[in-house]
Amino acid sequence: MSDPLLSVRDLRLGFTAGRRAKTLLAVDGISFSVGSGETFALLGESGCGKSATAQGIMRLLPGAGRITGGSVRLAGEELLNLAEADMRRIRGARMAMIFQEPATSLNPVLTVGQQIGEVLSRHRGLAGPEAAAAMAGLLKQVGIADPERRLNEYPFQLSGGMKQRVMIAIALAGEPELLIADEPTTALDVTVQAQILDLLAGVQAARGMGLLLITHDLGVVARMANRIGVMYAGELVEVASREAFFTAPQHPYTRALFSALPEVSRRGHPLLTIPGQVPSLEAMPAGCRFADRCGQVMAVCREHSPPWREIAGGHAVRCHWQAADDGEANGSPGKRAELQSPDRHLLEVADLKVHFSIRRGILQRTVGYVKAVDGVSLALTPGRTLALVGESGCGKTTVGKAILQLIAPTGGSVRLGATELVGMKPRRLRAVRRHMQMVFQDPFASLNPRLRVGEIIAEGMAALRVGSTADHGPAVAALLAQVGLPAEAADRFPHEFSGGQRQRIAVARALAVQPELLICDEPTSALDVSVQAQILNLLKTLQEALGVAYLFITHNFAVVEYLAHDVAVMYLGRIVERGSAEEVLGNPRHPYTRALLSAVPVPRLEGRPEAIKLPGETPSPAKPPAGCHFHPRCIHASEACRRDYPAGTRVSETHTVVCHLYP
């Protein structure tokens, strides 16, 4: 039998902590192989060791990293005992790697050409016009127009997607047999993600490369992978072909990952969550590492680490439990207790504008404006959830902050109940702040590390004089109970909690002043899927119990489908389509909404029937295109689109679209 392209056997690696030189194993004996022309996806949540595995294969571990055992063979050649100089001849030539953050992975002071040329001269001995031709060819191959000009540009002159294309070009320059892609699209918008995934699939097919794809996204796996390995706490727990993986996942962890995904079919049902958290490297359980969080746990699980068990050809699982073959435990599409939408609006935003001035020249005169938010109108009724969806830079977060008056709006009106907030005096505004609060995106930046959790939660009550100081103690305890944390948490500091727990604390802080409106700014995008499910469930129960209205700012359609009653889609500072969730998601009218929906990779075997690919990337809000902002990327663009910004068209009572296609 010939050797597979990449074969990893029993790889162990870890990180030394402190001078005691105790190595904590981050990856503990994993084995898999990648064949030529095959895409193997290594799937796992943050901290499971998947990126360390990739770096270990390249022998690019950071300073504290050590490979403690196992074997990595590239086409039969053992890499782990190669001299460093020989390893350098393989890196970049026979195997190449691309990274998650294209923004920081390119050298900021070298041109694109210099950075690609390095590989050409090092591994292929190309220089001068030969190299220039090769570079232009590579850029063309990764879909960059006008390659000759781009070669002389610096990374900061390129957009995010373009940088990742350049990274891919650098990786391809050495004509590698194996490409390792470590979360290559996580930092990118969905429409750009779709482009990059297509590009990767295309070059892989054209060159017959092996592709090792590291990802946490089941949708990306479904789009790309031939075979999948699931990692948990430094171990592989299941290896399966694409078909087997999506039709008959075996390991309880894999199954849990699927059930934790928010989807339209699960509306009205709480999501299945994985309790607890991944054990820390210092305290790995002796038996199965998933035992403490597993629904099917048995006595044997806690004592013996399960051996590999072959289910079918190429499908193996490390679990003591034998799944009864009941397929996916998917709930039937839920009936939702529809709230009648009362006529009274809690929040009414009309023609909201937030412009930032651009200053240039010697005297720093204002030469233009970044129209971050340019005439947004929204309405939200009590107890309902409005999702504000859009890609990065569309101004959705600015809308949230402008509603809260954290950023002073340039124009327009924000009415909460009967009160107009725009232009209100700061002192009077304080009284209104009781009624609206915000939950932020980053659970690590949203809690002051120097304050105890109790102090953090009580801050709003003290500032807005909710209850007397004596009441704050019991109130904090009640709030903690409400968000599912023990009362002792009040005396501890934020760093003692995990990301999901911190987000619960942030929710408790916002609820402390009993607001009627909660603005949630991407509250789950920094969290793993299983934790995201916990927070979504919490938000849902809280809404049912307290009748809070949510303005849910997100880029994640799955979350929107699961949670939202109403949806508004934003593009370059304006809302292009809004309506009820069923209308917008089920019957999208605006070409941008359609493209966004179809670009989201679906975690199922059968993808979307039709895939609309958007060319290009979102332009800068400083110079939005004339006419309809979307026309340069729109396949239906007509002369009218280039000339005039369209007026809104009512599709139904609640459904509005802003597009020339619907006169």
Partner 1 sequence: MLAYIVRRLFYAIPILIGVNLVTFALFFVVNTPDDMARMQLGVKRVTPEAIQKWKAERGYDKPLVVNHGADGLGMVTDTIFFEKSARMFAGDFGRAEDGRDIAREIANRMGPSLAIALPTFILGLFVTVSFALTLAFFRATAFDFWGVVVCVAMMSISGLFYIIGGQYLISKIWRLVPISGFGEGLDAWRFLILPVVIGVVSGIGSSSRWYRTIFLEEVGKDYVRTARAKGLPETVVFFRHILRNALIPILTGVVVVIPLLFMGSLLTESFFGVPGLGSYTIDAINAQDFAVVRSMVFIGSVLYIVGLILTDISYTLVDPRIRFE
Partner 2 sequence: MMGFQVVLLWSDLLIWLLVAVGIGVGVFIARNPPLLAAWRRVGASRVGMAAATVLLVFVVVGLLDSLHYRRQLDGKPGQKASYAVEVLSLLDAIAAPLRSRNEKTYSEPFATRLYAKETVDVPGRGQVREYPRLKFGGAHLGEREGEVAADVGFTAFRAAVIGVLAWLAVVAAAIGAVAWQGGVSHGEAGRRIWAGETRFAWNAVLATLAAVFLVVVPLLWLAGGYHVFGTDKVGQDVLYQVLKSVRTGLIIGLVTTLVTLPLAVLLGIVAGYFRGWVDDLIQYLYTVLNSIPGVLLIAAAVLMMQVVIDTHPQWFSTAAERADLRLLALCFILGITSWTGLCRLLRGETLKLRELEYIQAAQAFGVSSWRIIVRHILPNLMHIVIIALVMDFSGLVLAEAVLSYVGIGVDPTMVSFGTMINNARMELGREPAVWWSLAAAFAAMFILVLAANLFADAVRDAFDPRAA
Binding site for partner 2 (CB under 8 A): 401, 404, 406, 426, 429-430, 433, 437-438, 440-442, 445-451, 456, 459-460, 463-464, 493, 495, 506, 509-510, 513
The single residue among 72, 74, 106, 508 that binds partner 1, judged by CB under 8 A, is 106
Backbone angles phi, psi at 113, to 5 degrees: -60, -45
Q: Judged by CB, which is closer to partner 1: 359, or 465?
A: 359
Under the binding rule (CB under 8 A), the answer on residue 337 touching partner 1 is no
Q: How far is the CB of 157 from partner 1 (least distance, A)?
A: 7
What is the H or E stretch that residue 596 is in?
Answer: helix 591-599
Which of partner 1, partner 2, none does 605 bind, CB closer than 5 to 8 A by kind?
none
Q: How far is the CB of 64 from partner 1 (least distance, A)?
A: 9
Q: How far is the CB of 19 from partner 2 (least distance, A)?
A: 10
What is the H or E stretch that residue 357 is in?
Answer: strand 347-360
Binding mask 257-286 for partner 1 (x = CB under 8 A): ------------------------------
Q: Judged by CB, which is closer to partner 1: 87, or 424?
A: 87
Site residues for partner 1, 405-434, by CB under 8 A, read none
- In the chain, the amino acid numbered 475 is A
Q: How far is the CB of 176 from partner 1 (least distance, A)?
A: 10
Report the SS3 class of residue 270: coil
Which positions ≥6 away from 283 have C-beta within 8 Å?
A: none
**Do the Cβ atoms of 573 and 405 come closer than 8 Å?**
no
Q: How far is the CB of 465 from partner 2 (least distance, A)?
A: 10
**Do the Cβ atoms of 167 and 199 come closer than 8 Å?**
no
Binding mask 174-203 for partner 1 (x = CB under 8 A): x-----------------------------
Which of partner 1, partner 2, none does 313 bind, CB closer than 5 to 8 A by kind?
none
- In the chain, the amino acid numbered 297 is V
Which of partner 1, partner 2, none does 401 bind, CB closer than 5 to 8 A by kind?
partner 2
The encoded tokens of residue 216 equal: 């946490």
Q: How far is the CB of 505 from partner 2 (least distance, A)?
A: 11
Site residues for partner 1, 35-94, by CB under 8 A, read 58, 60, 62-63, 85, 87-93
Cα gap 183→439, rounded to integer Å:
27
Instruction: Report CA-CA distances (Å) from 49 to 11, 14, 26.
Output: 11, 9, 6
Cα gap 237→232, rounded to integer Å:
7
Site residues for partner 1, 115-134, by CB under 8 A, read 118-119, 122-123
CA-based max dimension of the chain = 78
Under the binding rule (CB under 8 A), the answer on residue 154 touching partner 1 is yes
Q: How far is the CB of 440 from partner 2 (least distance, A)?
A: 4
User: According to DSSP H, which parts of 208-328 are helical?
Assistant: 218-224, 242-247, 252-259, 299-303
# residues contacting partner 1 (CB under 8 A): 38
Which of partner 2, partner 1, none does 513 bind, CB closer than 5 to 8 A by kind?
partner 2
Q: What is the torsional sign of CA 250, 252, 256, 257?
A: negative
Q: How far is the CB of 405 from partner 2 (least distance, A)?
A: 9
Which of partner 2, partner 1, none does 99 bind, CB closer than 5 to 8 A by kind?
partner 1
Nearest to 546 by CA among 334, 315, 384, 365: 384
Q: In the block, which residue shows the tokens 């009274």? A: 344
**Do the Cβ atoms of 544 and 407 come closer than 8 Å?**
no
The single residue among 18, 108, 125, 307 that binds partner 1, judged by CB under 8 A, is 108
Which of partner 2, partner 1, none does 638 bind, CB closer than 5 to 8 A by kind?
none
Which of partner 2, partner 1, none does 361 bind, CB closer than 5 to 8 A by kind?
partner 1
Query: Burial code of 135-166, b = ≥16 C-beta within 10 A, e = fewer?
Result: bbebbebbbbeebeebbeeebeebbbbbbbbb
Count of positions (residues) in the chain: 663
Cα gap 339→354, rounded to integer Å:
32
What is the H or E stretch that residue 582 is in?
Answer: helix 581-586
Under the binding rule (CB under 8 A), the answer on residue 105 touching partner 1 is yes
Q: Judged by CB, which is closer to partner 1: 91, or 255?
A: 91
Which of partner 1, partner 2, none does 107 bind, CB closer than 5 to 8 A by kind?
partner 1
DSSP code of residue 165: H
Which of partner 2, partner 1, none does 246 bind, CB closer than 5 to 8 A by kind?
none
Q: How far is the CB of 449 from partner 2 (least distance, A)?
A: 7
Q: How far is the CB of 173 from partner 1 (least distance, A)?
A: 8
Q: How far is the CB of 109 from partner 1 (least distance, A)?
A: 5
Q: What is the torsional sign of CA 307, 213, 109, 132?
A: positive
Question: Taking contact as CB under 8 A, which single stretch among the options 43-51, 96-104, 319-327, 621-629 is the one that binds partner 1?
Answer: 96-104
Which of partner 1, partner 2, none does 170 bind, CB closer than 5 to 8 A by kind?
partner 1
Counts for the chain of helices (H) and strands (E), in that order: 22, 24
Question: Taking contact as CB under 8 A, which single stretch among the options 29-37, 105-113, 555-563, 634-642 is the one that binds partner 1?
Answer: 105-113
Cα gap 319→629, rounded to integer Å:
53
**Do the Cβ atoms of 119 and 174 come closer than 8 Å?**
yes
Cα gap 8→11, rounded to integer Å:
6
How many Cβ atoms from other residues are within 10 Å of residue 542's Cβ? 18
Strands (E), 565-632: 566-571, 574-580
The single residue among 1, 83, 109, 418 that binds partner 1, judged by CB under 8 A, is 109
**Footprint of partner 1 (CB under 8 A):** 58, 60, 62-63, 85, 87-93, 96-97, 99, 101, 104-111, 118-119, 122-123, 154, 156-157, 167, 170, 174, 360-362, 364
